[in-house]
Amino acid sequence: MENIFSNKVLKLGDIISEKRKEINWTQEELAGYLGVTKASVSKWERGRSHPDILLLPEIATLFNITIDELLCYESNLTNNQIVILTENLSSLLNEKGIEEAYKQLNFYLRRYKNQAKFLISMAQWLLNSTYAVKEEKNLEKYYKKVFELTGQVKNISSNTIYLEEAELIESVTYMLKKEYSKIIGIGEKLLSPVHNGLDEVYISALLANGNLDEFEYGFQILLYQNAVNTLGIIVAKLTTLPVNEVWFAKLIKLGENIIDLLDLKEMPTNSTLGYYIFAALGYCQLGKVELALFYLEEYTGIIENLDFPIQLKGIELFDKLEEWLDNNVIFQSTNTMKEEDVKRALAEPILNNPGFSRLEKEEKFKNIVKRLREILL
């Protein structure tokens, strides 16, 4: 586990040593006051370890300084540091479980409680990590923390991007809690007929001003976002399953055009994968077996070309996107799930879906199941 605080542990040790000497205490006296061993104090001062979180307020009070001063608090983390902290939490989650990772999360939050981007990243990480909660009754504690973090973002930031990301995280959390009416309250404004078009104005200004590199970067981001969002809306409609076969076929064609024209198979999101699953389910319900098998074959082909661990990368049409994908909270490359859990999640919609029961005797379907098992299980 990488530790961005390693230099700060040394500074913390220096501060403890310096302040201890200022009040003319020995290591043994400090140890006795705090209820620890002299060896522990010695390790702190040499930067070999750090005090328990619960001791920090007591140490700061003794030395008449703030906890921030004791910890050499820095107001802003870099993007890379946020990624490192997220990876540290994910490693701890996979090794020791969500409760230990949650304790470490709270330790980080004590240091950087007023940095909006960090809070957004931690809320997203925690929400993604709730898959590891074994008993549903224990989920509420983590959901409550997610809302606490997004609420803090709204209190300290006026940045539109962070505020929208906070609302998106809240909406997904409400969806998981099945509190759909609260999502509707958040989302009503998104359906306003008045679109401010600020993004489009911005990239048009870049082009007019001759900032071609910046224009290309902005163009690719907007095109990708709009394509993924549109595909997500199509998938949401497909989940209702076909009522009108003609309308269903038009939606399928629209989704297929978006994926093919923009090469989204090469950087598949949940929307892309969901498109093929629900297209197959719809045609299966309509009794169109060959079309159902065709879309299952397409899904399997994408899975066969995935590299694990999955990480979204730029492609020829979107060659400027990689940095943006890494820095974007919603599309962050760090995945909190274990590789086997990711693979299981990709396999289950096909292998354990009663909607495909009528295909079980089809040789093509048997072959698809065999290939998915070989790759994912």
146-175-338 Cα angle (round to 5): 65
Per-position DSSP letters for 91-157, written without gaps between them:
HHHHHH-HHHHHHHHHHHHHHSTT-HHHHHHHHHHHHHHGGG-SSGGGHHHHHHHHHHHHHHHHHH-
Looking at residue 54, its pLDDT comes to 84
Model confidence at 331, in pLDDT bands (50, 70, 90)? low
Q: Indicate the helix (H) or strand (E) that contains 304.
A: helix 289-304
Q: The tokens 């200022």 sit on which residue?
A: 22
Q: Of 2 and 286, which is predicted with more confidence?
A: 286
11-71: CATH architecture:
Orthogonal Bundle (1.10)
Rounded Cα–Cα distance for residues 335 and 86 (Å): 9
**Cis peptide preceding 349, ω within 30 of 0:** no
CA distances from 363 to 47, 360, 367, 370 (A): 64, 8, 6, 10
Q: Which of 33-37, 185-189, 228-232, 298-302 has the lowest mean pLDDT?
A: 185-189
Looking at residue 62, its pLDDT comes to 92
Looking at residue 152, its pLDDT comes to 94
Rounded Cα–Cα distance for residues 227 and 11 (Å): 48
Residue 26, pLDDT above cutoff 90? yes
Q: What pLDDT digit, counting tens, does each position of 84-133 carry?
A: 888 889 888 888 999 999 999 998 898 788 889 999 999 999 998 998 88
Are 86 and 101 contacting, i.e. CB atoms less than 8 angstroms apart? Answer: no
Q: Which of 6-10, 176-180, 229-233 has the lowest mean pLDDT?
A: 6-10
Model confidence at 1, in pLDDT bands (50, 70, 90)? low
* Pick from 218, 182, 223, 224: nearest CA to 203: 218
Half-sphere exposure of 309 (CA within 13 A, CB side): 11
Radius of gyration in angstroms for the set of CA atoms belonging to the chain, rounded to a whole number: 25
Mean per-residue pLDDT of the chain? 85
Assign a CATH topology to domain 79-210: 1.25.40
User: If you average pLDDT over each of 36-45, 197-206, 337-346, which comes out highest?
Assistant: 36-45
Distance of CA 28 to the CA centre of its chain: 45
Q: What is the mean pLDDT of residues 26-36?
A: 93
Residue 7, pLDDT above cutoff 80? no
Q: What is the mean pLDDT of residues 348-375?
A: 93
Looking at residue 259, its pLDDT comes to 96
Q: What pLDDT digit, counting tens, does each position of 251-310 carry?
A: 999 999 999 999 999 888 889 999 999 999 999 999 999 999 999 999 999 999 888 777
Rounded Cα–Cα distance for residues 253 and 295 (Å): 12
Residue 329, pLDDT above cutoff 80? no
Looking at residue 137, its pLDDT comes to 85
Tokens of 45: 């001062």
Q: What is the mean pLDDT of residues 196-202?
A: 70
Q: The tokens 């359906």 sit on which residue?
A: 191
Q: What percentage of the chain has pLDDT greater than the value 90?
A: 42
- Give the start-to-end residue ranges of the domains of the chain: 11-71, 79-210, 224-376
CB atoms within 10 A of CB 132: 17
Residue 73, pLDDT above cutoff 60? no
Are 132 and 97 contacting, i.e. CB atoms less than 8 angstroms apart? Answer: yes
